[in-house]
Amino acid sequence: MNILEFSLIVGFGSFCAGFLGALTGLGGGVVIVPFLTVLCGVDIKYAIGASLVSVIATSSGAASAYVKEGYTNLRLGMFLEVATTFGAIVGAIVAGWVSTGVLAVIAGIALIFSAYLSHKPSPEYAENLPLDALATRLKLSGTYPTPMGEQCYNVVGVPWGFGLMFVAGILSGLLGIGSGALKVLAMDQLMRIPFKVSTTTSNFMIGVTAAASAGIYLSRGYIDPGLAMPVMLGVLFGALLGTRVLVKAKVKFLRNIFSLVILVLGLEMIYKGFSGRL
């Protein structure tokens, strides 16, 4: 296989990853890392470096469209980014001391957990929740568009969500997967935000989280421009297409498709991590 063929394969796989990542808010990196390591034979630390670049591209491509549509909660996203940014720096520092096999197993477990979270049902539209004192003080609640018109929602569980965001940041810096799974979990399950608001706000946040750790990987030489370029372009165009589909897509369908894909990839990552094939 020559360089052109390899780049085309990587670009197409990245396009699919960006599309799926934008649809679910879990980030294209959750597919990019296992795709590059399992199917393309790339060293996992270089795959993580390329994935971080792709996550920034995903966020840049998807976030602007979601903000324009009125789904993203900007105030909440910027508040939670404080936790994810510090976590990402910690994760990137720790990653330099961890073997590739251990990283592969951790990534596989994170993927399986992401599959479970994606498949777990939750209401598509906002519930009538009581006002939360801290969320009210920080003005984190908001509105989003639905077929019935603008609908209000209240944010709850702010301290728990903030703490889980720090853990999500550590996973992002450690594995380069954007940690969208935990971000969506924190907003969807703990803070009780409507699913489409959770996914779009997650897409807005993952770029900042990835940028916080990408500099550390760059300084260590784990970001290869020849690999990162097709990954970034593929993910960017996939994310742009995904944003158009999300607005009209059914939440249950999105969860089922994504959970199946990342479950298979997660099991493969764990197997290869334990067998020493990465």
Instruction: List, for residues 192-243, the tens digit of each pLDDT value.
Output: 888 778 878 887 887 777 777 788 888 888 888 889 899 988 888 887 787 7
Q: Looking at the predicted structure, is the pLDDT value of residue 152 above 60?
A: yes
Class of residue 138 by CB neighbours under 10 A (exposed 0-12, middle 13-18, buried 19+):
middle
* pLDDT (tens digit per residue) in 61-96: 667 777 877 888 889 988 998 898 888 888 888 877
pLDDT at 230: 92
Higher-confidence residue: 26 or 124? 26
- Quick one: pLDDT at residue 171? 76
Q: What is the pLDDT of residue 9?
A: 92
For 160-218, give the DSSP string. HHHHHHHHHHHHHHHH-STTHHHHHHIIIIIS---HHHHHHHHHHHHHHHHHHHHHHHH
Does 169 have pLDDT greater than 80?
Answer: yes
Q: How far apart are CA 166 and CA 270, in angstroms?
A: 24
Contact 273, 44 (CB under 8 A): no
Mean pLDDT rounded to a whole number for the chain: 78
Answer for the pair 235, 15: CB distance below 8 angstroms, yes or no: yes
Q: pLDDT at position 195, please?
A: 76
What pTM value is reported for the model? 0.71
Residue 256, pLDDT > 90, answer no
**What local confidence, expressed as pLDDT, does residue 254 receive?**
64
Query: Range of 67's domain?
Result: 3-275
Q: Would you place residue 276 in the very low, low, confident or very high pLDDT band (cuts 50, 70, 90)? A: low
CB atoms within 10 A of CB 126: 20
**Number of structural domains in the chain:** 1
**Can you give the pLDDT at residue 79?**
92
pLDDT at position 12 is 93
Q: What is the per-residue pLDDT across 104-145, written as a single tens digit (0 to 9) for each?
A: 787 778 778 767 766 665 555 555 667 778 888 888 888 888
